[in-house]
Structure 1
Amino acid sequence: MAKCGARTAATMGLVVAALTVSFTTPARASVTHPQTQAAMDAAVKAGVPGVTGQVTEKYSIWTGMSGVGNLTTKVPRSPVDRYRIGSTTKTFVATVLLQLEAEGKLSLNDTLDKWLPGVVQGNGNDGKQITVRQVLDHTSGIFSYTSDPVFLENGFTEKFLQHRYDTYTPAQLVGIAMSHAPLFAPGAGWSYSNTDYVLAGMVVEKVTGRSYGSEIDRRILKPLGLYATSVPTTASSMPLPSSRAYSKLSLQPTPAGKTYDVTELNPSEAGSAGAMISDSDDLNKFFSALLGGRLLPAAQLKEMKTTVPVGAPYPFNGYGLGLMRTDLPCGGSVWGHAGGIQGSVTQAVTTADGGHSFSFNFNGDWAGDSQAVTNAEYCPK
């Protein structure tokens, strides 16, 4: 679940001693990714407790790690760590909705009010004027509930420790957003909104009669064999194997700030905007299958990749339907989605044909340059 406005996913923070480990498949043991490994090490030197990631290409798999998965025991991060993927969840949700469109069960031009009558209203919000497409590409203008001052304080300051097990319903999250006026008229601008994807999950449930998690499981996870990926609802614990997750719990974190273990939390605070758990191998398989045309018909994949421009402070250059396009400094682009939730920063990308995929995770949310890691992989010097 990306957090916008009051804080970014990674700023300068505590410096932690780096323990570097590399793993390659036996078939390609002589091939390494030294620039990618160096960028992971640099993130740890900048303050990230630990990094784990995997590169999947046609004939090889490379896994790099740096730093620790537990600041107390100093156990290193694992190549099979599961972690909270935050807003990378959005690509799964968008894929389900586009599958439903391909099946003729909904249209991207349907209004929210068609499926969720009366849900988006008040303070200038009007679900009769907002389409499913505008929700998926963040042109709806709907305020992001994660930018609400009370929600920010309860979730991203030391008050998190009092509220980490709170349960939110989708209706409650949307209600927080409806207490704010829209940022702009539908279609008149672009602004990242977690509320958009809470609504998207609600549409999935209304169309299918099943939860968004059930649809992701039967349409994506089971067909692709993504056994490390799950869609928790309110369970606060992490499945094993996994590392601990850390945060400064400050809207303006500093290197000197106290570091908190935030591994356990109730993921209903993110819901269909960012509750999922996965690992690097599964994320590579998912994005490779998606961009490779195995999950969507060509028409729907084209819609997904039709982007609108975004501006600062975002490191990506265009946003489609649950899909980010990032233009590389060496030319070309990668497609995927970033994700941030307390204590966890994830990046999952692949090339346009799905042939070169890279997913990685920081188990701290206040330091490190995730885009530098991506650039090191796709633009090695």
Structure 2
Amino acid sequence: MRVRTTLVGATALLVSAALAAPAVAAGTGTGAHSATRKAIEAAVASGVPGVTATAKDSHGTWSTTAGVGDLRTGAPRSVADRYRVGSITKTFVSTVLLQLEAEGRISLDDSVEKWLPGVVRGHGHDGSRITVRRLLNHTSGIFNYTEDADFARDYFTEAGFERHRYDTVTPGELVAIAMRHAPDFAPGAAWHYSNTNYVLAGMVIEKVTGHPYATEIERRILRPLHLTGTSLPGTKVTLPRPSSNSYSKFTDPNGSTYDVTNLNPSLASAAGEMISTSADLDRFYRALLGGKLLPPERLKEMKTTVEATGIPHARYGLGLMDTRLTCGVHVWGHGGGIHGSVSEAVTTADGRHSLAFNFNGDWSGDSDAVLDGEFC
């Protein structure tokens, strides 16, 4: 199974004993998605509480759900569910920076030090040697704050999460955690997924524009594309309706299941705070790959990839991943994970065939099989 580049990379997505699989809700659209539906049913059979998915292609829009959105009441998931999308946020952040570059307001080859003087410094980190581009393609070498042992204990264990789930953490505090560690490598020498890169990218957007990154994403992407189910919650701990509950087993796949729906997403910041719907994610990636958000030369820049070390069959661009499926088809998009929520959103290179889906449990389920079912 391909490794997912998610916010919760500090903890493995572990397989648990299967839960009973409720019936799949009837999908809408054509009958061409039977393999996708079968893979979604298998995810629920493997232990995922519920799944919601929407695909769009030349035949129209197809949506389906499986399993439950609430383990206590048995209420089903909805095709209109809002859910936390984790690291899918990164594509939105990168898109804004590429728009700013197209406007001549920043160069991705500017140093981080130019825009954030003194922020990336300590234990061998040097922002003057790191470009904004290296933040976006994860070749900066900056330590990933979610891999810090204290952070992992506070947010990725049951006891720590219960103590800290409603805490507000500033971007500066997240970066400071990373600066307590040595870099993973010299800038440009290798590739390693680091959420710190995108916390910094969000800070750069604010420095360039004078507005928070959330404001720029809303103004430049959400409103023009009418992504009414997508939001940047900041410190708001609840999910907007309609939505399902989110569940985690933390580090014990055979342990108890915990409701982790409500949390303060500032722990993810520009690396993964967003909430969206499957239909909105389809619309976003179709618009992006279809050339509606970036000029051709900037989209080409975004799709210029490097090897994503440790992730088979994948290469990483600027907040955008190129994944080769088992049948040889390439899809472009991003995965995202945050407590109790695992999502994927991809489209073909021409933006004409897209799929977005969400598991509301973070310990089981084969998302790769769902992608293969849809595109292979």
TM-score (norm 1): 0.95
Match of 1:53, SS?
strand
- Output aligned runs, 1:193-342, within 5 Å: 193-250=194-251, 253-254=252-253, 256-312=254-310, 314=311, 317-342=314-339
Which secondary structure does the structure 1 equivalent of 2:182 belong to?
coil
Say whether residues 1:346 and 2:343 are aligned partners: yes
- Offset of 1:5 from its aligned partner? 5.5
The separation in 2 between residues aligned to 1:193 and 1:168, in whole angstroms, is 17
- Does the CA-based 8 Å contact 1:160-1:249 persist in structure 2? no
CA contact (8 A) 1:3 1:9 kept: no
**Quick one: distance in 2 between partners of 1:16 and 1:169?**
40
1:20-76: CA deviations, max 9, x gaps?
112214xx4xx2411100100101111100001000113411112111000001111
Q: CA deviation at 1:4?
A: 5.9
Distance 1:22 1:142 in 2: 46
Question: Within 5 Å, which residues of 2 pair with 1:52-91?
Answer: 52-91=52-91
Q: Secondary structure at the match of 1:18?
A: coil
CA displacement at 1:8 relative to structure 2 = 2.4
Structure 1 regions of 5+ residues with no counterpart? none
2:285 partner letter: F
1:9 aligns with 2:13: yes
In the alignment, is the contact (CA less than 8 A) between 1:4 and 1:192 conserved in 2? no
- Cα 1:77–1:315 change in 2 (3 A) is farther
Q: In the alignment, residue 322 of structure 1 is paired with which amino acid?
A: G
Amino acid at match of 1:161: E
CA distance in 1, matches of 2:32, 2:76: 19
Pairwise CA distance, 1:9: 3.3
Q: Contact 1:116–1:203 at 8 Å: present in 2 too?
A: yes
Structure 2: distance between partners of 1:87 and 1:329: 23
Contact kept? 1:16, 1:48, Cα under 8 Å: no
The whole-number CA distance in structure 1 between the counterparts of 2:15 and 2:144 is 21
- Mapped partners of 1:16, 1:130: distance in 2: 49
The aligned amino acid for 1:19 is A
Give 1:244 deviation, angstroms. 0.2
Could you tell which deviates more after superposition, 5-14 or 70-79?
Answer: 5-14
> Does the aligned pair in 2 maintain the 1:9–1:340 contact within 8 Å?
no
RMSD: 1.2
Q: What count of residue pairs does the alignment treat as equivalent? A: 371
Residue type at the aligned position of 1:52: T
Worse-superposed segment, 3-12 or 269-278: 3-12
Unaligned runs of 5+ residues in structure 2 are none
Conserved in 2, the CA contact under 8 Å of 1:3 and 1:147? no
Q: Deviations over 1:88-143 (max 9, x none)?
A: 00000000000000000000100000000000000000000000000000000001
Secondary structure of the 2:106 match is: coil
1:110-125 superposed matches below 5 A: 110-125=110-125
Say which SS state the counterpart of residue 61 (structure 2) adopts: strand
Relative distance call for 1:3 and 1:9 in structure 2 (3 A) is farther
Q: How far is the alpha carbon of 1:315 from its aligned partner?
A: 5.1
The aligned amino acid for 1:18 is: P
Deviation at 1:342, TM superposition (A): 0.2
CA distance in 2, matches of 1:315, 1:347: 16
The residue aligned with 1:358 is 355
CA distance in 1, matches of 2:63, 2:313: 24
How far the C-alpha of 1:332 sits from its partner, in A, is 2.5
Between the aligned partners of 2:365 and 2:45, the Cα distance in structure 1 is 8
C-alpha distance in 2 between matches for 1:204 and 1:5: 25
User: Structure 1 residue 349: deviation in Å?
Assistant: 0.2
C-alpha separation in 2, matches of 1:10 and 1:191 = 21
Query: Structure 2 CA distance, aligned partners of 1:59 and 1:99?
Result: 31
Partners of 1:5 and 1:97 in 2: how far apart? Answer: 24
Give, in whole Å, the separation in 2 of the partners of 1:96 and 1:121: 25
Deviation at 1:15, TM superposition (A): 1.9
1:19·1:68 contact (CA, 8 Å) conserved in 2?
no
In the TM superposition, residue 328 of structure 1 has moved relative to its aligned partner by: 1.4
Residue 371 of structure 1 pairs with residue 368 of structure 2: yes
Residues 224 and 138 (structure 1), Cα distance of their counterparts in 2 relative to 1, 3 Å cut: same
Question: How far apart, in 2, do the equivalents of 1:316 and 1:245 lie?
Answer: 29
TM-score, normalised with respect to structure 2 = 0.96
Superposed displacement of residue 149, structure 1: 0.5
Contact 2:286 2:352 in 1 (8 A): yes
CA distance in 2, matches of 1:238, 1:5: 22
1:146-225 equivalences in 2 (<5 Å): 146-158=146-158, 159-225=160-226
- In the TM superposition, residue 84 of structure 1 has moved relative to its aligned partner by 0.2
Question: Could you say if the C-alpha distance between residues 373 and 53 of structure 1 is closer, same or farther in structure 2, counting changes exceeding 3 Å?
Answer: same
Preserved CA contact (<8 Å) 1:52 1:362: yes
| Shift in Å, 1:330 | 1.1
Do the aligned partners of residues 261 and 267 (structure 1) sit closer, same or farther apart at CA in structure 2, a change above 3 Å counting? same
